[in-house]
Amino acid sequence: MTEAEKELRYNALKTIRDGLVKASNAPLFKYRTENKYFPVIGEGAHDAKIMFVGEAPGETEAKTGRPFCGAAGKFLDVMLDSIGMDRTTVYITNLVKDRPPGNRDPLPEEIAYYSPLLLEQIEIIKPRSIVTLGRYSMAFLMNHFGLGNQLQSISKIHGQVFHVKDRDMAIVTLYHPAVALYNGGMRETLLKDFAVLKQFLGDEFPEELFEKSSVVSAQSDDEDAPSGPVALDLPKKELLPEQTTLF
């Protein structure tokens, strides 16, 4: 990436951050400010080849402004390490940018409000693969990118790679990492699914992967594990004001 492109991306992401910080019309703005939470925009490389999209920040994330920095995030770090990556080489964000009260599922109006910000982030970063973590980001992004007809429950399509036909981009549907926290048996499934991402680390988009079909299946077993966030009882952390600049 050239210096000019770097600056362009930085400024575009900063604009998203600055806009959301003062967006008093955001559905979770009141809850955020009353609780002295931060919006969680995203973190990582602005030219990442892989972008991870979770559901919404939990309490630890809202207190620090960092995505996936609680217990589920620790397992995400383990999975990244398993393919030789870390947070500095990928970009991590969420569908909903503010914490829903009590870690409840996001409401349709919250997804409607925050998802355009995610779509802007995708256009800025231009990842080669978008990894959905959990069923909300999976459903939203598959529908948005014209893959709605292939959408099934996450227990059916976890670990699959879908080709977004009109661009060199894939959507990889993974379980939410929190699943491994309340069902230890799922750790291996998550790690196995994660290995599919190795194919997106090269310099070129792996077009040949999709020559026969628009879907590459890494996994076709049928566990019926729940997906999505869990209410995590996480240790309280100090506020880190400098983290609010993250985006």
Q: Which residues bind ligand URA (CB under 6 A)?
A: 40, 54-58, 61, 67-68, 72, 94, 229
Sign of the four-CA dihedral 184, 72, 108, 217: negative
Nearest partner of 55 among 231, 191, 176, judged by Cα:
176
Question: Least distance from C-beta 238 to ligand URA, angstroms?
Answer: 18
Nearest partner of 192 among 215, 236, 158, 145, judged by Cα:
158
Nearer to ligand URA, 72 or 196 (CB): 72
Tokens of 210: 């999709």
Inter-residue contact 133 to 53 (CB < 8 Å) = yes
Nearer to ligand URA, 56 or 164 (CB): 56
Nearer to ligand URA, 17 or 163 (CB): 17
Nearer to ligand URA, 40 or 164 (CB): 40
Which neighbouring-strand residues pair with 217? 160
Residues with Cβ within 8 Å of residue 237, at least 6 apart in sequence? 60, 63, 64
Nearer to ligand URA, 57 or 159 (CB): 57
Question: Least distance from C-beta 55 to ligand URA, angstroms?
Answer: 4
Question: Least distance from C-beta 62 to ligand URA, angstroms?
Answer: 9
Decide: residue 215, CB within 10 A, 0-12 exposed, 13-18 middle, 19+ buried. Answer: middle
Nearer to ligand URA, 61 or 110 (CB): 61
CA distance 34 to 56: 18
Question: Least distance from C-beta 124 to ligand URA, angstroms?
Answer: 19
Nearest partner of 130 among 239, 48, 185, judged by Cα:
48
Measured at the CA of 109, the angle between CA 104 and CA 114, to 5 degrees, comes to 85
Give Cα separations from 130 to 126, 163, 185, 204 (angstroms).
9, 10, 25, 15
Question: Least distance from C-beta 212 to ligand URA, angstroms?
Answer: 33
Nearer to ligand URA, 119 or 231 (CB): 231
Question: Least distance from C-beta 14 to ligand URA, angstroms?
Answer: 20
Question: Least distance from C-beta 188 to ligand URA, angstroms?
Answer: 21
